[in-house]
Structure 1
């Protein structure tokens, strides 16, 4: 059994490689992490290309859903994207928040942070920033985000429970998340579960669907809802790297399910809106302050 740090190092190494290769290469592999097959398999990702705010250069084809479609982002919101990669979900979120909002992308792979910052600079987005850090220790203060999104990333973190608790900490009271991720129904064969490529490929690190939802509930979230669910089928030519033909046949006819789910949940409480201050009120407050010459201001 590998330690948490060993698993993180595997993911960081794999995703550094992914950042250095093209989208076509990523699309031809299982979640961008395995050796490309002789066909192009878009195994997990949904098509972003018709989404407003979509940036092709920032889409590495690594997602398993469209969380920003379901995230109920409003103008002026502060949005955090966990595992922001080259920045595409951040740029889609920025389209929803507008120039008056703020978007923060978090990723622990330095080359991803570099790519995303370059993309933001090209777009001239001054209200989108990217921070390097682990999502199980989010480099953001408490009660900052109106909305948190994430796309096929929590399954890559050894402790999902830690990440979910961090999401709760960082959200404002009344804030919510919409997260796409891979979950399981039934146990994977050991050959898949213990393989580094399949861990980095978003499969071996996935946990049971019931356990995933329980962690969210245990953290204190309310209104937990599955917004979208779709089955994931791993092609036989990828499975053949790990299993014999008989094992593949048994696996494909078993009750084991691999699913992409998009989950919504809300942090209890009411958002505290900042009171709007008019120009006349600012002038009145200034005039009520005693003169600087008196030394009391």
Structure 2
């Protein structure tokens, strides 16, 4: 279904809600498990009747969002406003709850419901979830209720969500997903029954898109079975934490020049690697795993100040969960906790994709790197004595590894 058709569809439902009619976006049989609409909430008695009547979701994201007083929360595709109003109550008068919707009629309905409730800490915005009209790093928590499946560009939704969240902020949404091996034809029938206009993502596709956008600690928890491999689910993820003024995000090709400059500056110290000259970007790109590359960026200057990347230790299947990594921090930015935050992001992302062992080698003289890795849970396995000649000197290498406690053996 095209974008304009989806907006008109929900605008029609909103007009019915404004007229006092009960509205539904699913075929009647989909309510049998009481997982759609207001039935997904334990208690909506304190909210305006119109908000509960206009609920079109597939769960209760507010229940898992862990909202705290004073936070700023954004509901993507806020509809009649039920989740915005619930969130506003949770964050209190010193917090703020935004609702974003592409339908002017839905916004009118939501604003009327908020006015009836006398909520002063809510604001409803007109726009799309693929292009959120809010500034970077301005939101503490993003929620959404059965809306992402309506988007024809779900990657853009997650990219925008990542952009507007603050470092360390969270995403907690309800949506409809499919099992990875669900029969396509049967899956489509159920998607139409539950109103998934643009189709569902599989569980693996959901996690992959979140990872590509930069999210870590992702999880997909199934909450209701609609048949044929289609489920309601709670999806949770986090934006990497970072020191003030820093954002950690995936590495892109446009970062190449800055990444290699930091690489070379590290090599020039004589204590970073046996290498003396940074590789070309083509060589770097070929030899580093694409899924585990991150940069730390100064939000004021947009300058890359640190990077981390991984390589496979072997192409043998038995070592599929074992990698080695490199991390470099601009010498002008050391001592600010950037390396710790970047390495913590890398470890979390690696565990998300099933990596159980991360290895690295560090010159014994590089005391700061040894401290950094030990702080991140790496242990010294041993010393490889006089393993290589560097600038005419035979040098030892301290070998470290980190074994995951959440994946692998």
Give the TM-score of the pair, scaled to structure 2: 0.53
1:44 Cα offset (Å): 3.2
Are residue 16 (structure 1) and residue 8 (structure 2) matched? no
SS in 2 for 1:211: helix
Give 1:269's aligned residue.
241
1:233 Cα offset (Å): 2.4
Give 2:261's aligned residue.
none
CA deviation string 1:35-94 (max 9, x = no partner): x67x96546344325158644321223111111010011000000000000110001001
1:7-156 aligned within 5 A: 7-22=2-17, 25-27=22-24, 32-33=25-26, 41=32, 42=34, 44-45=36-37, 46-50=39-43, 54-59=47-52, 60-156=54-150
User: Do the aligned partners of 1:81 and 1:89 also contact (CA within 8 Å) in 2?
Assistant: yes
User: Unaligned 5+ residue runs, structure 2?
Assistant: 246-409
Separation in structure 2 between the aligned mates of residue 44 and residue 64 of structure 1, nearest angstrom = 4
Q: Is the radius of gyration larger for structure 1 or structure 2?
A: 2
1:231-270 aligned within 5 A: 231-233=224-226, 256-270=228-242
Q: Residues 262, 40 of structure 1: CA spacing in aligned structure 2 closer, same or farther, 3 A cutoff?
A: closer
CA deviation string 1:171-196 (max 9, x = no partner): 0011111011101113455487399x
Separation in structure 1 between the aligned mates of residue 153 and residue 193 of structure 2, nearest angstrom = 13
Give the TM-score of the pair, scaled to structure 1: 0.72
1:272 Cα offset (Å): 5.3
Q: Residues 271, 179 of structure 1: CA spacing in aligned structure 2 closer, same or farther, 3 A cutoff?
A: farther
Aligned-residue CA RMSD in angstroms? 2.9
User: Unaligned 5+ residue runs, structure 1?
Assistant: 1-5, 235-255, 274-297
Q: Residues 119, 271 of structure 1: CA spacing in aligned structure 2 closer, same or farther, 3 A cutoff?
A: farther
Q: Residues 19, 92 of structure 1: CA spacing in aligned structure 2 closer, same or farther, 3 A cutoff?
A: same
Are residue 174 (structure 1) and residue 171 (structure 2) matched? no
Between the two structures, name the one with larger relative contact order (CA 8 Å, sep ≥ 6): 1
Separation in structure 1 between the aligned mates of residue 146 and residue 219 of structure 2, nearest angstrom = 17
Aligned residue pairs: how many? 239
1:222 Cα offset (Å): 1.4
